[in-house]
Amino acid sequence: MKVDVSQEAVPLFAALGSKTRVAIIQLLAEKPANVKEMAATLHLSNPVVAKHVDVLENAGLIKTERIPGKAGLQKRCTLIVESLEVAFPKKAIVPYGTYYSSLPIGQYTNFKVTPPCGLVSTTHIIGEFDDPKFFMDPERFSASLIWFTSGYVEYTIMNPLKDGQHLKIVDISMELGSEFPGGNNNWPSDLTFSLNGTSLGQWTSPGDFIDKRGKYNPDWYSSGVNQYGTQVNLRITDMGCWINGHATSYNTFAKLRLLTAPLWTFRVAAPKDADHAGGCTLYGKGFGNYDQNIEFNFSYTPAP
């Protein structure tokens, strides 16, 4: 039996809103029965059961028929429905438009890091390890792997929305790990994220994984150091931020200054005073297990 959520279906839903009527349905699912038999089983009077039977019959769930009995005609009841499918009204779906941006991890516009730290591209080491000044090396724009013990890297993103477009969702995805010299599968690190200077929340990296080689690491990259991270997904709506499906903040778009600012700043940080101060490794395209940059998806609807 299939019914729509409508005024016409109210008697049906009302019929199911009684423990006694549900018990009658369960009895009739076993076999047809008359009012007297059901009354005896349910320890109720015949008139009470008869009233409930009338409600179920009017709802189209059972049928009744008069059959000869020892004391004249009896009202035998039979369940005529085996299943019930409720069709809710279809939602009015407003299709989202999207803008997509893939930001290489070396295109940060601000940073502050402490050693051990370093950068490499898919073909070579950039500058020298453990000297933060090389984070300003012009070759940093080709970096596909960045690591630091504490501090942050910050990116500037263009607000892609045009007049009349209303922001609905911002999705940010990246591959992250902790930072331990050489690597350590059990090395938790508290990493924080912010947008336009306002916190989006914290995520704890479980380790700086070295147990197996990263799927996309170039051949020249040593197998004796950190190999891959964890994919981290941030979803920002006007009701807050979720990191890998867990709510981490409840800031609105207005508080994050996403509606009017032409440029946004996105920061990934490894605070030195965190409970788990385990550093940060950021994997870009050509390294790790996900072969991706920092991916931004902006979903919007047109003006009404």
Counting the structural domains of the chain, the total is 2
What range does the domain containing 15 cover?
2-87
| Residue 93: pLDDT over 90 | no
Residue 70 and residue 202 in one domain: no
**Model confidence pLDDT, tens digit, residues 145-155:** 999 999 999 99
Last residue of one domain, picked from the residues 37, 69, 87: 87
Query: Bridge-partner residues for 267, per DSSP?
Result: 154, 194
* Residue 92 belongs to a domain: no
Q: Give the pLDDT mean for 238-259.
A: 95
CA 60, CA 56: separation in Å to the nearest integer? 6
Domain co-membership, 61 together with 132: no
Whole-angstrom Cα distance, residue 76 to residue 69?
10
Task: Give the pLDDT confidence of 153-179 residue by residue, as tens digits.
Answer: 999 999 999 988 999 999 999 999 999
pLDDT digits 0-9 by tens, 186-232: 999 999 999 999 999 999 999 999 999 999 999 999 999 999 999 99
What does the pLDDT look like over 14-68, one tens digit per residue?
Answer: 999 999 999 999 999 999 999 989 999 999 999 999 999 999 999 999 999 888 8
From 158, 156, 172, 154, select the one nearest 267 (Cα to Cα).
Answer: 154
